[in-house]
Amino acid sequence: MNLQFTPEENTFREEVRAFLADKLPADIQRKVRFGQQLNAEEHVRWQNLLSERGWLAPGWPVEHGGTGWSPVEKHIFEEECAAAHAPTVVPFGVNMVAPVIIRFGSEEQKRHYLPRILGNDDWWCQGYSEPGAGSDLASLKTRAERDGDHYIVNGQKTWTTLGQHANMMFCLARTDPQAKKQAGISFLLIDMNTRGISVRPIITLDGAHEVNEVFLDNVRVPVANRVGEEGEGWTCAKFLLTHERTGIAGLGHAKQALRHLKSVARRQTHRGRPLIQAPSFREQIARSELELMALEVTNLRVLAAARDGGAPGAESSLLKIRGSELRQRLSDLTRRALGPQALPFFADFLAGDDDTLDDDQTFAAAATAQYLNRRKLSIYGGANEIQKNIVAKTILGM
């Protein structure tokens, strides 16, 4: 197994770097660098630039507009984007619903939705979780009852990320309440402007409006908007979740967070010398760096296997657990390195509307918000406890 990058892969890295240096808008880069929230226009502006370059949909087959990149090239691309403070692509359209439409959708659905996703014409959100259905997703209660050419959908979805911007939602709904849990579910594409849909914000601990509740009250959805057969939504749902976990280790982000932590620890003082020289803090940074190196090698091993024809399986659960724990620890160490300076955070700052702070103050203001925000990493995309169950079953055979 060869863990070195090939000369072609190194050339590709240079190409990505040059593109980012040339095209990433400075205002967007600054917001990402300081952990501020992007608005919808900023997300779309960046995604349009990727789309123009043909790089928005690395995971798609080439005939539909994909890049044809290998898993290693995708990894290099993600790593360089994180290092350059480029925004993460909003995944719900391009990385989640699109692969499902490509795999299970009708020709008509492919023709209609895929070009719109590549052109950033639709903003998608994910309607899976419900108040009583998260880890145990198959116990979802949202109902879709047939009425001629339509379904009438009633229920509630929750934790709907960026649903406030969405004009489309892919949604799991129960079409057969008599069938066994997983068997009675269908996968529906719902226009968020349909009468009967309301979106209510959930403000998270960091003061951000990132997630929502979505209420569906007698919402009429054309049967033509069902992907796959009636009652086969669970197959689509599982297929989509494997795509959701890809890249969730967030290695590029972890590396960036470590660089930032070191620069903070060099500037902060402790008993008259830089904090980075204090033995106990230095040891914690070193331990995190070693774990990050181990995670990177594991990630490269998984990628190398995929490059040689294997497919990442339960290893992606391992990467998700370790990557999310590490990113949480790095945000915790950064907050502690900043001490009392990390305490304040302001809604104006999060929105990027406060330009009175200098760079040091801005990083300090971001630290607490980021520490709180990173708690989500071990919950979404399948909680870490669930990933451990997967590892136990599929790798350890328990």
Ligand X SMILES: Cc1cc2nc3c(=O)[nH]c(=O)nc-3n(C[C@H](O)[C@H](O)[C@H](O)COP(=O)(O)OP(=O)(O)OC[C@H]3O[C@@H](n4cnc5c(N)ncnc54)[C@H](O)[C@@H]3O)c2cc1C
Size of the site for ligand X (CB under 6 A): 16
Roughly what angle, to the nearest 10 degrees, separates helices 251-267 and 359-373? 130
Contact 127, 144 (CB under 8 A): no
Within 189-248, the residues that bind ligand X by CB under 6 A are 211
CB of 44 to ligand X, least distance (A): 18
Contact call for residue 161 and ligand X (CB under 6 A): yes
Contact call for residue 351 and ligand X (CB under 6 A): no
CB of 384 to ligand X, least distance (A): 7
Question: Residue 82 is encoded by which pair of tokens?
Answer: 């994180």
Contact 80, 16 (CB under 8 A): yes
Catalytic residue among 232, 244, 296, 315: 244
Q: Which is nearer to ligand X, 49 or 216 (CB)?
A: 216
Of the candidates 73, 129, 151, 258, which one interacts with ligand X according to CB under 6 A? 129
Contact call for residue 139 and ligand X (CB under 6 A): no
Contact call for residue 134 and ligand X (CB under 6 A): yes
Indicate the Cα dihedral angle 175, 181, 187, 190, nearest 10°.
60
Apex CA 242: angle with CA 237 and CA 374, to 5°? Answer: 105
Cα Rg of the chain (Å, integer)? 22
Q: Which is nearer to ligand X, 131 or 313 (CB)?
A: 131
Among the listed ranges 22-30, 122-130, 315-323, 333-341, the one in contact with ligand X (CB under 6 A) is: 122-130
Q: Which is nearer to ligand X, 41 or 385 (CB)?
A: 385
CA distance 226 to 106: 9
Q: Where are the alpha helices (DSSP H) in the chain?
A: 7-23, 26-33, 40-53, 71-83, 91, 98-104, 107-118, 233-245, 251-267, 279-307, 315-338, 347-350, 359-373, 384-394
Contact call for residue 380 and ligand X (CB under 6 A): yes
CB of 185 to ligand X, least distance (A): 13
Within 140-159, the residues that bind ligand X by CB under 6 A are 159
CA distance 100 to 374: 28
CB of 135 to ligand X, least distance (A): 3
**CA 224: distance to chain centroid?**
29
Among the listed ranges 97-105, 121-129, 254-262, 291-299, the one in contact with ligand X (CB under 6 A) is: 121-129
In the residue annotation, 229 being an active-site residue is answered as no
Q: Provide long-range contacts, Cβ within 8 A and 24+ apart, for 382-387.
A: 382/135, 382/241, 382/244, 382/245, 382/317, 382/320, 383/134, 383/135, 384/320, 384/321, 384/324, 384/325, 385/135, 386/135, 387/317, 387/318, 387/320, 387/321
Among the listed ranges 110-118, 310-318, 349-357, 374-382, the one in contact with ligand X (CB under 6 A) is: 374-382
State the residue number with the nearest CB to ligand X.
Answer: 134
Among the listed ranges 77-85, 127-135, 174-182, 222-230, the one in contact with ligand X (CB under 6 A) is: 127-135
**Pairing verdict, β 197-203 and 209-222:** antiparallel
Residue 174's DSSP bridge partners are 143, 185
Among the listed ranges 28-36, 123-131, 190-198, 221-229, the one in contact with ligand X (CB under 6 A) is: 123-131
Contact call for residue 95 and ligand X (CB under 6 A): no
Which residues are designated catalytic? 244
Task: Give the binding site for ligand X (CB under 6 A).
Answer: 126, 128-129, 134-135, 159-161, 211, 376, 379-380, 383, 385-386, 389
